[in-house]
Structure 1
Amino acid sequence: MTTAPVRSIRPADDPFTHPKLVAVPAVTEVKADFVVITPDVARDMLRRNTHNRPIRQARVNGWARVMAAGGWHNNGEAIKVAIDGTILDGQHRLHAVVKSGATVTILVVSNLPMETQSTMDGGAKRNPGDVFALRNEQNSTMLGSVTRKVWLWEQGDKRFSAKEAPTTPELYALVDKYPGLRRSADIAVRVYHNFRPIPPSIVGAAHHLCSRIAPDDAAWFYEALGTGAELALRHPILTLRNRVMTDKDNQRAVSDGLHMAQVLTAWNALRAGKTSLAVIKVPLEADGKVHQVIEPK
């Protein structure tokens, strides 16, 4: 950005003050307009997307789902364009318009100097817990983590590989669809206070799945999982507790997907009438290598 010559500025209300010398920048005229962006408009803009970070496809997919469902809201976040038309910020939203086929209205700020890109998009991205804190939800951090796991499960990602990520509207919609997720987050916190080898987000997500099938059984199961009280030798819950504690003591790496499979294996055993379970044996897929998560029955 160029700088104009230094000139003297004297405060109008105090003519006796010695003047201060300040540099007055030559300001480029920045333009801001709400623009109706169709897929064709987005494609045209993206032809100038030559100076940007790599595309995060999960983010594109998330916004595309929202746009396709008609859930896009003009939130004031701008697509930023340089003086020469280069896209400085907003490529993911433009790609989402193309992918979804939707037409949306977005604020576009243009005529920006190229060097302004270095200060863009530097704020911390809101995590799911932040999202629910904005709605004044109790246990917002845990509710966010549990809801994210349930969203992944419903997308078919039952190993929680997190190749996709839910958007804020999708997180809100899932809690509105399943208000019991708040209870599941509360259960996750309670279990974690007493028993920590299983990640609390897994406990909450598993409780959600189980309570949709048998709420009373789920309430007892997760209370017993947390306390371990009055469980007979080889009781499925005690066997589960022993398994995860052994894994932790041996510093064995256990994925979230396997933790979920272990919890649901114990749950399914009890639901099938088994009161004794020697080991938590998770069924394997055909290749014999990847653990398979069992659906609650």
Structure 2
Amino acid sequence: MNIETLPTLTHIDGPTAVVVDVTPDVARIWLRNNTHNRKLRDRAVADYARDMAAGHWNLNGEAIKFATDGTVLDGQHRLRAVIEADTTVQMLVVVGLDPAAQETMDTGRKRTTGDVMGLRGEASAHTLAAILRRVWAWKHGDYRFTGNYAATNRECAQLLAEHPEIRRSTEIAVRTRNAFPHVPQSILGVAHHLFSAIAVDEATWFFQRIADGAELPIGHPVLALRARVTSERLDSVRMPESRHMAYLVRTWNAVRERRSLDRLVHPPNSSMPMPK
């Protein structure tokens, strides 16, 4: 069967499935028949392309689907990603579908990184996933966690394989949040991971003091942090994650530099400080 003409076969009696090595050239040919589909989402294409280029795209049973007249019903983002990644990807292809079947495609809930971590048996799976996504964003220069350049499930799994210590950061984040519920767990976990890479023992002490505030003298930066985030929460101020992160970094840097800090401030338009 010629893979270039595969989707245009209209004489097939009912749907037929076949596994195909989809090359960029084949993807281009098939996309000529992408005449009745939803708007292409560039971010989804970019996410898929990164996984494909990294060799993280597996044959998983999800199919490129064609109607009886050859129209692409499902799979335009994957086909475009093959072109963007400039690589060949093995895919399941289904032809001979009723065009009306398109209305019921992609209606299920997408499997999240938290779901994947849960299936792997990871503790605090959804918190771990949130921390992984933000650590990945930070490493790629998204210091404000805008989500404009987000990690895929496979990229998060790869990050965890390369940095298994993030599991410990997740544990510390959950424990700290339980004791002091004014900073998001995901941001606590990112900060612990970054600070531990600089000075692990100091990071351990730092997060213990965020949790309990014990035995800290007046003017200590951790007291300023606790007072600031508590005050803003009591005032029902909706704080972006980036401000929480900036507060943590400024406090950490002040502790490392042995500076007193009576009041913690981070102007809204300020750049993100880097931990030292």
Task: Using structure 2 for the length normalisation, give the TM-score.
Answer: 0.92
| Between 251-260 and 152-161, the greater mean CA deviation after superposition | 251-260
Q: Which has the higher helix share?
A: 2
User: Counterpart of 1:106 in 2: which secondary structure?
Assistant: strand
Whether 2:259 is the aligned partner of 1:280: answer no
Match of 2:221 among 226, 236, 243: 236
Indicate the structure whose relative CO is greater, using CA pairs within 8 Å and at least 6 residues apart: 2
**1:162-192, Cα deviation, whole Å (9 max, x unpaired):** 0122112111110111111000111111011
Task: Please identify the structure whose Cα radius of gyration is greater.
Answer: 1
2:270 is aligned to 291
Correspondence for 1:41: 26
| Unaligned residue ranges in structure 1 (runs of 5+) | 1-26
For the residues of structure 2 that align with 1:195 and 1:28, how far apart are their CA atoms? 64
- CA-based RMSD of the aligned residues comes to 1.5
Which runs of no fewer than 5 residues in structure 2 stay unpaired? 1-11
Q: After the TM superposition, which residues 1-297 of structure 1 pair with which residues of structure 2 at under 5 Å, given as runs?
A: 29-274=14-259, 276-282=260-266, 290-297=269-276
Distance 1:28 1:114 in 2: 15
Q: 1:18 corresponds to which residue? A: none
Q: CA deviation at 1:28?
A: 5.1
Instruction: State the SS of the aligned residue for 1:172.
Output: helix
Distance in 1 of aligned mates of 2:230 and 2:261? 16
CA displacement at 1:256 relative to structure 2: 0.7
| Contact 2:112–2:153 (CA under 8 A) maintained in structure 1 | no
The aligned amino acid for 1:83 is: T
**AA at the equivalent of 1:277:** L
Q: Given residue 89 of structure 2, which amino acid in structure 1 is its aligned partner?
A: V
Q: Tell me which residue corresponds to 1:24.
A: none
Contact kept, 8 Å, 1:28 with 1:112, in 2: the verdict is: no
Aligned length: 265
Cα distance in 2 between the residues matched to 1:255 and 1:207: 18
